[in-house]
Amino acid sequence: MGPDSHVLTFPVNHGETLNIVAFHTNSDPWPDFARLTRPAKREDAIRDYEGFGPNVQALLRLTKPDLDCVGFQWCCKSNLWLIFLQWAIFDLGDHPVPTFYKGRICISGDAAHATSPHHGAGAGFVIEDSAILAALLEDPRVKTPKDLEAVFAAFDANRRERTQGLVQSSRHMGNLYEWRVEGVGDDLKKIEKEINERNAVIWNVDVKEFVEDAKKELGKRLKSSSML
């Protein structure tokens, strides 16, 4: 962790390979919103991490000078896979969708709540979405195409607050790692406390309870639609 940057490493391939992800925040506009990646230079990465420890600098110097290819390079001396592209991070934090459904059309996963990776929970929330939506669709009370709107309305009521909360919290987590949060800064104890509290919101849940709550909401929606 450090000012405006942080580096994440983790072993993959049964511990035989180390993956490196280097994040850096700046005010420069992304030049092409139709693309998620663009070429970069090793010197750019080294400059972004100027002042960081020698281990970080050493890892970055293992990359090739031009970070411009789609793919990976195997570095046999260090046993590392190195990716050579600069990736943009887009989310729906500034433009949350007002609803996850309209009529018989429903969105879920990244289409509904695309998030930054700083919580490491985006894929997990997609699984939650799928479990709840599947449970609603297989409910025996859902008998006709007309009932789909009640299903999607129940899904929206059950999922939107939690998933959009993740998007905002993930942004905040990235700022914590880069000492950008007012009142927290580089205070490691405060950073740890916030990380633990926010992760608890993500982890300490029972998906079965989400499903049961969604089914109760579905019952209300079906009853309401039958009275129209």
Per-residue HEC secondary structure of 88-140 comes to: CCCCCCCCCCCCCEECCEECCCHHHHCCCCCCCCHHHHHHHHHHHHHHHHCCC
Q: Give the pLDDT score at 228.
A: 57
List the one residue out of 16, 182, 19 whose CA is nearest residue 7: 19
pLDDT digits (tens, 9 = 90+) for 203-220: 999 999 999 999 999 999
Q: Which residue has the higher pLDDT, 27 or 91?
A: 91
C-alpha dihedral (167, 177, 206, 12), degrees to nearest 10: 100
pLDDT at 42 over 50: yes
pLDDT digits (tens, 9 = 90+) for 142-192: 999 999 999 999 999 999 999 999 999 999 999 999 999 999 999 999 999
pLDDT at 69 over 80: no
Strands (DSSP E) contained in the chain are 5-12, 17-24, 37-38, 40-41, 66-67, 72-75, 80-83, 86-87, 101-102, 105-106
Tallying the residues shown for the chain, one arrives at 228
Dist CA 108 CA 101 (whole Å): 9
Extract the tokens encoding 100.
Answer: 């996850």
Q: Give the pLDDT score at 225.
A: 76
Dist CA 154 CA 93 (whole Å): 23
List the one residue out of 120, 128, 137, 216 whose CA is nearest residue 173: 120
pLDDT at 76 over 70: no
Q: Give the pLDDT score at 72.
A: 38
Extract the tokens encoding 209.
Answer: 């309870």
Per DSSP, 15 falls in state T
Average pLDDT over residues 95-111: 96
pLDDT at 74 over 70: no
